[in-house]
Amino acid sequence: MNFYVGCPIWSWKAWVGNFYPEGTKSSEFLREYSRRLTTVEGNTTFYAVPAQKTLDGWMEEMPPTFHFCPKVPKAISHEGRLVEHVGRSRGFIDLMRQLGTRLGPMFLQLPPRYSPKLLGDLQTFLAAWPQDVRLAVEVRHLDWFESPHDESLNELLTGHNMARVTIDTRPIRDLAGEDILAGSVYQSLLEARERKPDLPVVPKRTSDLLFVRYIGHPEIEFNNPYLQEWGEYLISQLRDGADVYMFCHSPNNFAAPYLCRRIYAQVEKEVAIPPLPWNELADEDYEQGQLL
């Protein structure tokens, strides 16, 4: 039973002076990030497989208890059938294994066109996936959320002890409070709403881990009812012995780490989990941290 929280990225200059200390250099972003949160959604691997030198650098920056969750490259997930890329996926897995204890569950995001008609393709791909490497699968075609496809997918993932990703985009579809949002922030909210899928939010644990992607509203207070709901669910899953990974996004990225901090604070009141590393940095006091 472990609870890991993080963001989709670690390299964002606007965090300098709030989430990161004033004067932090871009080369220090991962180090500072991993001193505060406990996991990251490794979106960088979706676009390019890291060179060995890059991977070595990541390992030097991340503490052994930190979990990096690599996103399966789009050259595997978005280019034809999955079975055509089994060999390439094994090469990617072997590279990521070098992270050792820092390797969290990998993340396979399937494109919206990948429908239940390709269930056999998915079955073959998952059967070839190494059992010792955890995997979370996100589907975006709406038919996967309807019977009997919903049940078939859950059974397939359960059989392989793989997680079904839940993505919650409700906060960015709720434009409550748009009258007080600055123009640029409001525009980023609209753009984020267009980019993210509008999918049913039906949490379903199909393995010993839970993998949640929460797309938050840029105004932190508007997230409270959603975070309250998620907190209660995560507490129940942790008490049931699951490992939980929750990744908080926000349209302008600024709010994301503070959403992580808030949901963690809610959960640790009810479940015995280690303090968030961020809160252990007693010599640093960030104004935004007072949002809690």
pLDDT digits (tens, 9 = 90+) for 104-150: 999 999 999 999 999 999 999 999 999 999 999 999 999 999 999 99
Residues in CB range of 157: below 8 A, 6 or more apart: 126, 137, 163, 164, 206, 207
Question: Looking at the whole model, is its pTM more than 0.75?
Answer: yes
> Are the beta carbons of 240 and 194 closer than 8 angstroms?
no
pLDDT at residue 286 in the model: 43
Handedness of CA 8, 12, 15, 17 (dihedral sign): positive
Cα–Cα dist 272/251, whole Å: 32
DSSP 157: H
Q: Which of 96, 14, 88, 113 is nearest to 62 (CA)?
A: 96
Question: How many CB atoms within 10 Å of residue 265?
Answer: 14
Residue type, 203: P
Question: Domains in the chain, start-ordered, CATH in brackets?
Answer: 3-281 (3.20.20.410)
Q: What is the CA radius of gyration of the chain?
A: 19
Here the contacts of 121-127 (C-beta below 8 Å, separation 24 or greater) are 121/81, 121/82, 121/83, 122/82, 122/156, 123/156, 124/82, 124/83, 124/86, 125/82, 125/83, 125/86, 125/89, 126/156, 126/157, 126/160, 126/162, 127/160
Q: What's the CA angle centered on 72, arms 68 and 74, to 5 degrees? A: 140
Beta pairing, strands 243-249 & 209-215: parallel
Peptide bond into 21 cis (omega under 30): no
Termini Cα distance of the chain: 24
Low pLDDT (below 50) residues in the chain: 177, 180, 282-283, 285-292
Using CA atoms, how far residue 268 sits from 18, 224, 239, 257, in Å, is: 23, 16, 12, 16
| Secondary structure (3-state) at 170 | helix
